[in-house]
Amino acid sequence: MKTNSSEAVDSSMNWRDLNWKEELKNNITSVEQLKDFISLTPEEESDLQKIIGNHPMNIPRYYLSLVDTDNPADPVRRLCVPDVEELVLAGAMGETTGDPYGDDKHDKGNGILHKYPYTALVVGTEYCAMYCRHCFRKRMVGLPNNQTVKNFQEASHYFRAHHELTNVLISGGDPFMLPTPTIKAMLDELKDMDHLNYVRIGTRAPVVYPIRFFDDELIEVLQDFNRVKPLYIPTHFNHPNEITPVAADAILRLREAGITVNNQAVFLRGVNDDVETLTELMNGLLRIGVNPYYLYQCMPVSRVRHHFQVPLKEGVDIVDEARKQLDGYGKRFKFIIGHDIGKIEICGRIGDKLIMKQLHARPEHPEESSRMLVRQLTENAGWLDDLPEVEL
């Protein structure tokens, strides 16, 4: 049964009292459903059908209620509603890839990705409450694939055998879309591994589906684990309009359980690529108790790069100007390129030279960790591979 559209976008709805599993059934997943909320021309309908055939659409009613439906350029709409630009596979920004982070190279099977010696990632599910249009795992999210965990108990044997690990990240998709007993079983497997200093659960649910965190059973499970081993939740606010009272309450429930919440935003054209928005975002995060942690340069992902990626020459100036306006806690975030070779911090520029520092390196190249990198900035370069090497 289709929900009445006026009810679906009513911002006065009490999202906190909804059953999280049942409300997922109301997600907008087809063009026909979307037309109840947003006006589309016949040409747009046709284009969206083509896009959804490659990369599914999935938008919670809650998140759609944040969209200004009268503004085609609304930043929240840009994050959730497919756009004709997703059909562009080549353009001025350069080449694209399906796997910019090198996941395939570090796939150990059964959903385990082990890229750095001290960190292992396990893909808990390919499903998210919302399929973000800028997702760097766009080729797999919402689609059947072989990179999700099939048996977490077997995955835990891998973690137990690798004593070089200091932490495990449960990722996806979104792990919080798994049933609470499944999340508990995963955490229980990790609880007694003394070589793990902490565990992380990566999620965008506090932003796009905060309904999930009003489940008392879930909060109890997270709190119980956190009493034994620190639990960190990296989340993903990209725009100040996502910091709503409901989202703030969801974050508060996590904080009251003793959990540290860090934010990993992505720098996105038409969403947060201006000084005022970035400043407001970081200050807004601090107001709800979330630590600004990373600001990722948008990856050169197929059907993402050419409408979301900001050229580095432009971007580094925007980020520096925003930092000038932020206090010490607000400017703690690192501007990051999440590259195949490792994580690289963008420190700033001297003239037309970009100064970077490699934070993490692959185990086969440990000498690359903590090295400085200098590259020549060009007008359109948006990725490390686009930048010619140059001496300082």
Output b/e per residue, 360-375; b: 16+ Cβ within 10 A. bbbeeeeeebeeebeb
**pLDDT the model gives residue 11:** 60
Two tokens, residue 145:
């694939």
Predicted local distance difference test score (pLDDT) of residue 5: 40
* Residue range 220-227: mean pLDDT, rounded: 98
Domain residue ranges of the chain, discontinuous segments joined by +: 5-87, 103-386
Q: Are residues 357 and 372 in contact, defined by beta-carbon separation less than 8 angstroms?
A: yes
Residue 316 host element (H or E)? helix 312-324
Which helix (H) or strand (E) is 297 found in, with range?
strand 291-297
Amino acid at the residue 132: C
pLDDT > 90? residue 348: yes
Mean pLDDT within 148-171:
93
When mean pLDDT is compared across 8-17, 130-139, 189-198, 324-333, the lowest value belongs to 8-17
Residue 9 scores a pLDDT above 60: no
Tell me the CATH number for domain 103-386: 3.20.20.70
pLDDT higher at 202 or 301: 202
**The predicted structure's pLDDT at residue 7:** 45
| Identity of residue 39 | S
pLDDT at 278 over 50: yes
pLDDT in tens, 93-145: 555 554 555 555 557 888 899 989 999 999 998 889 999 999 987 766 665 65
What pLDDT shows up at residue 363? 83
Label residue 2 by pLDDT band (50, 70, 90).
Answer: very low
Give residue 87's pLDDT band: very low, low, confident or very high (50, 70, 90).
confident
pLDDT of residue 8: 47
The pLDDT of residue 108: 80
Give me the mean pLDDT over the 256-263 stretch: 98
Q: 51-66 as b/e, with b when 16 or more CB fall inside 10 Å?
A: bbeebebbbbbbbbbb
Beta strand 198-201 pairing with 167-171: parallel
Closest of 96, 125, 121 to residue 106, by C-alpha:
121
**Percent over 70 (pLDDT), the chain:** 91
Q: Give me the pLDDT at residue 1, please.
A: 28
Position 4 confidence tier, pLDDT thresholds 50, 70, 90: very low
34 with 64: CB under 8 angstroms?
A: no
Does residue 3 surpass a pLDDT of 60?
no
Average pLDDT, the chain: 91
Say what percent of the chain tops pLDDT 90: 78
- Predicted model pTM: 0.92
**Which pLDDT score is estimated for 323?**
98
Q: What is the mean pLDDT of residues 165-191?
A: 96
Average pLDDT over residues 42-55: 90
Peptide bond into 109 cis (omega under 30): no
| Mean pLDDT across 18-47 | 94
The CA R_g of the chain, rounded to the nearest whole Å, is: 21
For the record, the structure tokens of 303 come out as 């059907």
Confidence at residue 99, expressed as pLDDT on a 0 to 100 scale: 52
